[in-house]
Amino acid sequence: MSGAGAYEAMDELTEVGIGFAGRGIESARETEWARGRRPIARWALAAAALFLWTLGALPASALARGAPDSFADLVQKLMPAVVNVSTTQTVKGEPGIEMPQFPPGSPFEQFFKDFLDKQQRPHKVTSLGSGFVIDPSGYIVTNNHVVADSDDVTVQFDGPDHLQLKAKVVGRDSKTDIALLKVDAGHPLAYVKFGNSDKARVGDWVVAIGNPFGLGGTVTAGILSARARQLNSGPYDDFLQTDAAINKGNSGGPMFNLDGEVIGINAAIYSPTGGSVGIGFAIPSSLAEPVVAQLEKYGKTRRGWLGVKIQTVTDEIAESMNLPKASGALVATVTPGGPAEKAGVAPGDVILKFDGRDIADMQHLPLIVAETEIGKSVPVVVWRRGHSVTLEAKVGELQETEPTVAEAAKGPEKPPTPANERKIESLGLAVAPLSADLRDQYELGAEVKGVVITGVNDSGNAAEKGLKPGDVIVELGQEQVTSPSQVARMIDQAQKAGRKSVLLLVQRAGDLRFVAVPIVKG
| Cβ–Cβ < 8 Å for 172, 153 | no
From the list 236, 212, 206, 190, the residue with the least C-alpha distance to 76 is: 190
Catalytic residue among 86, 130, 173, 177: 177
Q: Is 496 exposed, middle or buried (0-12, 13-18, 19+ CB in 10 A)?
A: exposed
CA neighbours closer than 13 Å in the CB half-sphere of residue 498? 1
Catalytic residue list contains 440: no
The whole-angstrom distance between residue 278's C-alpha and the CA centroid of its chain comes to 19
- DSSP at 235: T
No. of H helices and E strands in the chain? 13, 28
Catalytic residue among 251, 320, 426, 501: 251
The whole-angstrom distance between residue 56's C-alpha and the CA centroid of its chain comes to 37
First vs last Cα of the chain: how many Å apart? Answer: 59
List, in order, residues 6 or more apart from 521 with CB less than 8 Å away. Answer: 426, 495
Radius of gyration (C-alpha) of the chain in whole angstroms: 32
Give dist(CA 86, CA 91) in Å, integer: 16
Give dist(CA 307, CA 395) in Å, integer: 9
Left if phi > 0, otherwise alpha if psi is -120 to 50, otherwise beta: which for 329?
beta
Catalytic residue among 130, 145, 238, 320: 145
Strands (E), 285-375: 304-305, 308-312, 329-334, 350-354, 357-358
| Cβ–Cβ < 8 Å for 140, 131 | yes
Catalytic residue list contains 387: no
- DSSP at 149: T
User: Parallel, antiparallel, or unpaired for β 396-397 and 377-384?
Assistant: unpaired
| Cβ–Cβ < 8 Å for 449, 480 | yes
Catalytic residue list contains 177: yes
From the list 304, 305, 293, 292, the residue with the least C-alpha distance to 265 is: 292
Q: Which residues are known to be catalytic?
A: 145, 177, 251
